[in-house]
Structure 1
Amino acid sequence: MTSDPRLGPIALPDTRARRVFEKLLDGSGITLNGSAPADIRVYHPDVFSRVLHQGTLGLGEAYMDGWWECDRIDELAHRLLRHGLGEHAQSKSERLMYRLQSGFFNLQSRARAHIVGEAHYDFGNDLFERMLDDTMCYSCGYWKDAGSLLEAQRAKLALACRKLELEPGMRVLDIGCGWGSFAEHAARHHGVEVTGITISREQAELARRRCEGLPVEILLEDYRELEGRFDRVVSIGMFEHVGHRNYATYFGTVERLLPADGLFLLHTIGSNTSHISADPWINRYIFPNGVLPSAKHIAQASEEHLLMEDWQNFGADYDRTLMAWLENFDAHWDEIADRYNQRTQRMFRYYLSICAGAFRARNLQLWQVVLSKGREGRYDAPR
């Protein structure tokens, strides 16, 4: 049996899987085939058994296949997580397999570093140009005084530059430079020279075009291969791909590249716990081999190399950022629909929505951490 949303939701089957599913939802405020924005409309009778057997992987794939629908997936995810279903939503076998893999193998080794670039960041510049704003920032905006996505991203870039205390003529390294948003901003507004590195060919190509005429060099390179000396180092939205087995190498590399009075700004999504795990659906379809660090991971891995100067959490701003990306994605999808299929559209909508819900539920955080090599004097971080 195949689903057909045009026929409307199906009559709910009287199965054990459905009854277990409804019991899990009890008290969450979510109703099957209800009319509220966060309610789940069912279009395939096997959706319940699929989710119970495969957890979040089954839930996400079932949505991509059109087996269920929801007007506000972000609010659905928010309610499920606040209801405590985050851990139960993953199958035990999926969690165990990932922990075994990450324990025995370096999933983010130098030889495997290109995988996430090819799978996600090389997906298509045309898609990301329509989803993001003019800065092409693909990380959390800073909404403290911002009224739009563009203002929030410019505020984030400006905040990072102020925290790094940039001065004209400085040499700055941008680890995981993306499409060149920070490199362009810092070179244009602060007169610094920037070397940006990425593992995505699509990102490197567009970043070079965006930074043309500025003292910016964009390299297709892994952070472990870097040599030289930089006055400042910044890494925005890249540490999530480093992996716990490589944290010490990462901070050791930054230490080696910085002078005695240098500063390093780390901007990363963070996990509330130190368990090594990844959401199975996100790991398969969005960020292969990604691992979110905990505060403990960062503190322990960096303490032998760098001194913690400042730590700021504005994770609640990621909810608003993701919802702005979703709005852009929906508004401009027709411009690229002939180049992608409906499954891709549903994949991106689901990804942006569930992540927004996770930040809204405070299951995920966004940290900006400033570290130094122990330079003399007091450091006062701007906000």
Structure 2
Amino acid sequence: MAAVHPLKHRVAELLALADVRLDGTRDWDLQVHDERLYTRALADGSLGLGEGYMDGWWDTRSLDGLLTRLLQSHLDDRVHGWHWVLDGLHAHLTNLQTRWRSREVGKRHYDLGNDLYRAMLGQRLVYSCGYWANADHLDAAQEAKLDLVCRKLGLRPGMHVLDIGCGWGEALKYTAERYGVSGVGVTISKEQAALARELCAGLPIEIRVQDYRELDEPFDRILSIGMFEHVGVRNYRGYFDVVRRCLREDPATGGGLFLLHTIGTNVSTTHTDPWIGRYIFPNSMLPSAAQITSAMEGLFVVEDWHGFGPDYDRTLQAWRSNIEAAWDRLPPRYDERFRRMWRFYLGASMATFRSRRSQLWQLMLSPHGVPGGYSAQR
């Protein structure tokens, strides 16, 4: 009889708190292929669990279902691993999102390959949460989100718009085609910028590879969709200072309008999950409501705060369906380990929104307050 791994019972006890069984028969149960997983997971927490999955040490029929149960039971709070402590110390001592460090996520994530993102994101290259209130498929949800943004900003022909973190330029492309505006988009990804220029050709749109801190020119409206997660708490005040100095005075709206679209978290922290930081979004972190409001105090009036986090779960499911159908058509550089990494990323992201540990917020901000009040759009 083979000896039982000394940590197997401890792992089984922890998993039982989430109603997950080792080698069980339910979709969300965990099938262990390599017993070294027990030591790795207990020592390294989420980093060990994620790396174990990438290495094929374990499987489950429902990755998002398993991870949702782990988060709902707060097992991540019981098993942090030493990397969490080390990352926290590093964030305390260092600004992880300086101009130099901020470009790392562009190189390591957004420059992975436009072929990957085109396969995953659908007809519209929008790498952020769709708006599913009246949509029944991904492309409709993304168009609804873009139109929601435009309506919230009150765009009119002739306006000049700034998109901080413009991705592949889809938001600016939409505003120019549907609302007759011109615009500037900034990104730290060379791959994104190259394709954005191609997609926006012929429109009054300029795409730059530029750090947001370098911006100092007037715009009628400013939007930022899915970029604030890379700013870092040490830089939040500076970020809002940049937006404020770039908003042209507009008496009708209290000095222009700014839309901030960001993932948020329920508890203030200073760094991201160790696995996400190492493999997906280096130097990232999710803001809390307290961190956002503290950083903007005295600079902006909060006109509207719209949350629709559950829509992100549905968006992620659509992305997963797209990429799973496309793997065989993509280049061999996206090998089996990369595919397992990507599956863990999408599954873990679904779990954070499904467990309501992560939120999706759209904030409407004005420098002086809209005279007579802002009319919220939904």
TM-score of the superposed pair, with normalisation by structure 1: 0.95
Aligned partner (choices 20, 41, 48) of residue 58 of structure 1: 48
Listed one character per residue, the Cα deviations across residues 195-254 of structure 1 (whole Å, up to 9, x for unaligned) are: 000000000001111111111110000000012100000000000000000000000000
Could you tell me which of 149, 168, 173 is aligned with 1:160? 149
Aligned residue in 2 for 1:377: 372
> Any idea what SS the aligned residue of 2:78 has?
coil
User: In the alignment, which residue of structure 2 is the partner of 1:219?
Assistant: 208
Decide whether the 8 Å contact of 2:102 with 2:283 is kept in 1. Answer: no
User: Corresponding residue for 2:329?
Assistant: 335
Q: Which residue of 1 aligns with 2:195?
A: 206
Residue 265, structure 1, aligned to residue 259, structure 2: yes
1:194 alignment partner, SS class: strand
Once residues 278 and 331 of structure 1 are traced to their aligned partners in structure 2, the CA distance between those partners, rounded to angstroms, is 30
Q: CA deviation at 1:259?
A: 2.1
Aligned AA (1:94): H
2-structure distance, mates of 1:254, 1:212: 26
- The corresponding residue for 1:14 is 4
Partner of residue 106 from structure 2, selected from 93, 106, 117: 117
Q: Which whole-Å CA distance do the structure 2 matches of 1:58 and 1:194 have between them? A: 44
User: What secondary structure, in the 3-state scheme, does the structure 2 residue paired with 1:140 have?
Assistant: coil
Find the aligned partners of 1:12 and 1:295 in 2 and give their Cα distance.
52
- For residue 64 of structure 2, give the secondary structure of its aligned residue in structure 1: helix
CA shift at 1:86, angstroms?
Answer: 2.5
CA distance in 2, matches of 1:337, 1:36: 34
Encode CA deviations 1:57-108: one digit per residue, 9 max, x unaligned: 00000100000011111011111111121222421x2222112111111110
For the structure 1 residues 335 and 292, does the alpha-carbon distance in structure 2 shift closer, same or farther, using more than 3 Å as the test?
same
Q: What residue number does 2:15 align with?
A: 25
In the TM superposition, 1:234-253 aligns within 5 A as: 234-253=223-242
Q: What's the CA shift for 1:337?
A: 4.6
Number of the residue aligned with 1:42: 32
The answer on whether the counterparts of 1:108 and 1:242 sit within 8 Å (CA) in structure 2 is yes
Deviates more, 1:147-156 or 1:29-38: 29-38
Deviation of 1:353 after TM superposition, in Å, equals: 0.7
Stretches of structure 1 that go unaligned for 5 or more consecutive residues are 1-10
260, 273, 276: which one aligns with 2:270: 276
User: Are residues 1:141 and 2:136 paired?
Assistant: no
Which of the numbers 312, 316, 320 marks the counterpart of 2:314?
A: 320
Q: Percent identity?
A: 49
Using the alignment, how far apart are the partners of 1:12 and 1:338 within structure 2?
A: 39
**Inter-partner Cα distance in structure 1 for 2:268 and 2:17:** 28
Residues 168-207 of structure 1 deviation map (CA, whole Å, 9 limit, x = unaligned): 0000000000011101111110000010000000000011
* Cα distance in structure 1, aligned partners of 2:165 and 2:3: 48
Q: Is the 8 A contact 1:198 1:222 kept in 2?
A: yes
> Could you tell me whether the CA contact under 8 Å between 2:271 and 2:284 is conserved in 1?
no
In the alignment, what sits opposite 1:368?
A: 362
Which residues in structure 2 correspond to 1:40-119 (within 5 Å)? 40-91=30-81, 93-119=82-108
1:169 alignment counterpart: 158
Letter in 2 for 1:291: M
Measured in 2, the distance between the counterparts of 1:302 and 1:12 equals: 60
How far apart are residue 376 of structure 1 and its match?
2.2
Q: CA-to-partner distance for each residue in 1:42-69, whole Å, 9 max, x for gaps?
A: 1101111110011100000010000001
Matches within 5 A, 1:282-297: 282-297=276-291
Aligned residues: 372
Unaligned runs of 5+ in 2: 250-254
